[in-house]
Amino acid sequence: MGDASRTGPLVGVKVLELGNFIAGPFAGQLLGDYGAEVVKIESPDGGDPMRRWGVTVDGDSLWWPTIARNKQSVVADLKHPDDLAMVQRLAHECDVVLENFRPGVLEKFGLDYATLARTNPGIIVTHVSGFGQTGPRANEAGFGSIGEAVGGIRHTTGDPDRPSARAGVSLGDSLAAMFAVIGTLSALHERSTSGRGQEVDVAIYEAVAALMESTMADYAVAGVIRSRSGGALTGVAPSNAYPTADGADVLIAANADAVFVRLCTAMGRPELAADDRFATHGARGEREKELDELVADWTRTRTVDEILASMVEHSVPAGRVYTAADMVTDPHYLAREMIQTITSRSGIELPMLGVVPKFSRTPGSISSPGPDLGEHTP
């Protein structure tokens, strides 16, 4: 089933993907981007629901060609003895089994680490689940949104006078997928010296909690519970999205002392940098709303292009708040090959994001869009 067009640092690594939706399959997408051969097992009753999720055209998901890119689709009913035997054979040939079932499901099918390692001692089994493989909540259902809640990020997202909000993407699932890739790569590295595989246990809520900075220490030591602060980060100013004369939003991050001096110069208000109310990071944080209004009063009188040109001139970090429409035409995205146009299996020309990160010697690639259901079934 190998693909000669595959490139990247993981060429030669074979991954068996078991699972649906986002957390496991996004990890499989990333491994495939880096050159791994990813064989995805799908059920015969329609396969992965991601084939039908998101925006669709004539019933075809525009998400599927990306999240299943660089993968092969093999249809198998794990409850059917012959199909299960085929999947077990594939697992014994693989370097990695990637799964996002509930804990205990693999054991029912003889696809758990202990069973596979008897004949494939180098096998790495990477689990992605809501609450991990152990602990009192291990067997509970756990989608990404629940992981975002339990992991703490929902409490800190949104405006302070409104209920907690979510990001407009599946943040919890995607974070878990990235930690699954990090864990898998770490296990592959260790195997190169020990010759032995192991299990990698990723819980969605833990992947989210890992991003929560010093919030636990803030509470335990100082009694501070970080909460929602809208588009700003409490105590960090000026660093927010500001309105422009032509209706755009521009993000300006000038919270460091030297950068704030340069922003004040760009605004034609150099005296602000010497004002005791704003001269230090702490002082600016205490008066962030007042400072944001001063910056907004300036940005409202200029177009976004005028503001960005001034920020470049004065070395102040800034950027327009992009939509997808901005991304697909942005010269920097294009120069770094971050917009790849691929023809889906149904003949639709689709822009999709390129491979992250960039490798200087063994670049990853997109060799194929998401496959048809069962396209690679033996």
Q: Please give the positions annotated as active site.
A: 173
What is the rounded end-to-end Cα distance, in angstroms, of the chain?
9
Determine whether 236 is exposed, middle or buried from the number of CB atoms within 10 Å of its CB (0-12, 13-18, 19+).
middle
Tokens, residue 327 = 């991304």
Q: Beta-carbon neighbour count of residue 28 at 10 Å?
A: 30
Residue with tokens 């922003």, as numbered in its chain: 263
> How many angstroms separate the Cα of 16 from the Cα of each of 29, 43, 123, 145, 369?
12, 14, 11, 26, 18
CB 204 within 8 A of CB 147: yes
Q: Which of 20, 19, 38 is nearest to 28 (CA)?
A: 38
According to DSSP, the residues that pair with 350 across neighbouring strands are 342
| Residue 331 neighbours by CB under 8 Å, 6+ apart | none
Judged by DSSP in three states, 79 sits in coil
For the record, the structure tokens of 218 come out as: 């803030």
The secondary element (H helix, E strand) that includes residue 361 is none
Q: How far apart are CA 119 and CA 200, in angstroms?
A: 19
